[in-house]
Structure 1
Amino acid sequence: MVYKLVVLGSSGTGKTALIKRLLQNRFVEQCEPTVNHLYEGQLVVDGEPCELAINDTSGRELFRDLREDCIRWGQGFLFVYTVDSIMTFVDMTLFRDQLKRVKGTSRVPMVLVANKVDEAHWMVNSDMGQDAAKIFRVPYVETSAKTGQDVEQAFQELVREILRSQDKGRRFTPCRIL
């Protein structure tokens, strides 16, 4: 099975850098603005190798329709903001609203990621991120694409969220009477 992951967030949050850190174990200082790019790779989650297809989306409003196509395609969503920008944090609500509208439900596998935790000046502290994750009812992970801190953990947690949602679907699927 291939897990279809979508990375969402405002421009400049390090979405591409997180993906490249995960798949290539390297940090890319400067990335060209992404329109849409699909990466493929593997990740071990709880001892099991998992195939990943990761859609790196644009955070720019200009590409809203393309982002909606990615949302339709995806199974799980990494919502990325940066600790040094309050606006990227506020934008999480807009991305979540778009996700709920496109998917038609709020029960979608998702992980909230605070990136750039290696930065000295935080405008969004850990408590704010944890509170938002509680409101969204999703896991919260603090990462640094630069140092590699907890990047793998963020993607592992997203795969776990997808697996949990599939288990719930199977558990509550009513039997069909023929």
Structure 2
Amino acid sequence: MTGMGGVQKYSAVVLGAGGVGKSALVMRYGKNMFLEQYDPTIEEEYDLTVEYEGKRSRLEITDTAGVEQFTGINESYIQKGMGFVLVFSLIQQASLKDVDHILQQIYRIRGGEEDIPIVVVGTKMDLTGEREVSSQQIQELAVQWGLPFYETSAKKGWHVNEAFNHLLGRMRRRYPDGMPRGQKHRKKDGQCLVM
């Protein structure tokens, strides 16, 4: 069963440590703009219509706060998301550990679900002189985790579309009918979460 005009809807969640460039990545993909200054994100949602492989899809992207604020809120993203972009910075070795942590959370929360659409993205590829994560390390992790990795630069626009489109392709294969009708990410209206 398809929605209006047969355009399927998919939801992707962008997760990673604070300051690795999640928002810059999403802005480059969604609006083809580069976000110059860092402004910590609480939560942003983007609703895009994407043309990929000759087919249109609606893609709802949730850009989340950094992992150091990893709370029950992120758990609800992981429960609802159809696909995930896990972001680390190529100039910040420690941010890879955060991705590993998030990956474990996804597998724990989704309870051994098979074939969850996930793409791992390294940002700031243009800052070659400051690079801490080697391509070899990335290749080893790609094999170990069994996930596609992309090295990107939101500033230069390198490989950003490829990473998101790859995720969209994986979500389409995993969920051919798109998001179940009536399921909608709801904005939390000033809700207070007591832990």
Matches within 5 A, 1:46-85: 46-85=53-92
Equivalent of residue 170 in structure 2, options 158, 161, 170: 161
Say which is worse superposed, 59-68 or 19-28, in terms of deviation. 59-68
Alpha-carbon distance in 2 for matches of 1:43, 1:131? 31
State yes or no: 1:35 paired with 2:62: no
Alpha-carbon distance in 1 for matches of 2:170, 2:52? 11
1:23–1:42 contact (8 Å) kept in structure 2: no
Alpha-carbon distance in 1 for matches of 2:173, 2:141? 21
1:35–1:63 contact (8 Å) kept in structure 2: no
State yes or no: 1:141 paired with 2:161: no
1:42–1:50 contact (8 Å) kept in structure 2: yes
Deviation at 1:14, TM superposition (A): 0.6
Q: Structure 2: which amino acid aligns with 1:122?
A: R
2:125–2:151 contact (8 Å) kept in structure 1: yes
Matches within 5 A, 1:1-150: 1-105=8-112, 107=114, 108-120=116-128, 121-150=130-159
Deviations 1:143-174 (A, max 9, x none): 1110010100000000111123236xxxxxxx
Normalised TM-score (structure 1) = 0.88
Aligned residues: 167
Deviation at 1:63, TM superposition (A): 4.1
Alpha-carbon distance in 2 for matches of 1:56, 1:27? 15
Alpha-carbon distance in 2 for matches of 1:63, 1:94? 10
Structure 1 consecutive aligned stretches of length 4 or more whose deviation exceeds 4 Å: none
Q: Percent identity?
A: 34
Q: Structure 2: which amino acid aligns with 1:138?
A: L
| Local SS of the residue matching 1:6 | strand
2:88–2:121 contact (8 Å) kept in structure 1: yes
Structure 1, gaps ≥5 residues long: 168-178
Q: 1 or 2, which has the higher helix percentage?
A: 1
| Aligned-residue RMSD, C-alpha | 1.4
Deviation at 1:62, TM superposition (A): 2.7
| Local SS of the residue matching 1:17 | helix
Q: Structure 1: which amino acid aligns with 2:100?
A: T
2:20–2:87 contact (8 Å) kept in structure 1: yes
Deviation at 1:98, TM superposition (A): 0.8
Q: CA, structure 1 residues 93+60, in 2 after alignment: closer, same or farther (shift >3 Å)? A: closer
Deviation at 1:75, TM superposition (A): 0.3
Deviation at 1:72, TM superposition (A): 1.0
Q: Structure 2: which amino acid aligns with 1:66?
A: I
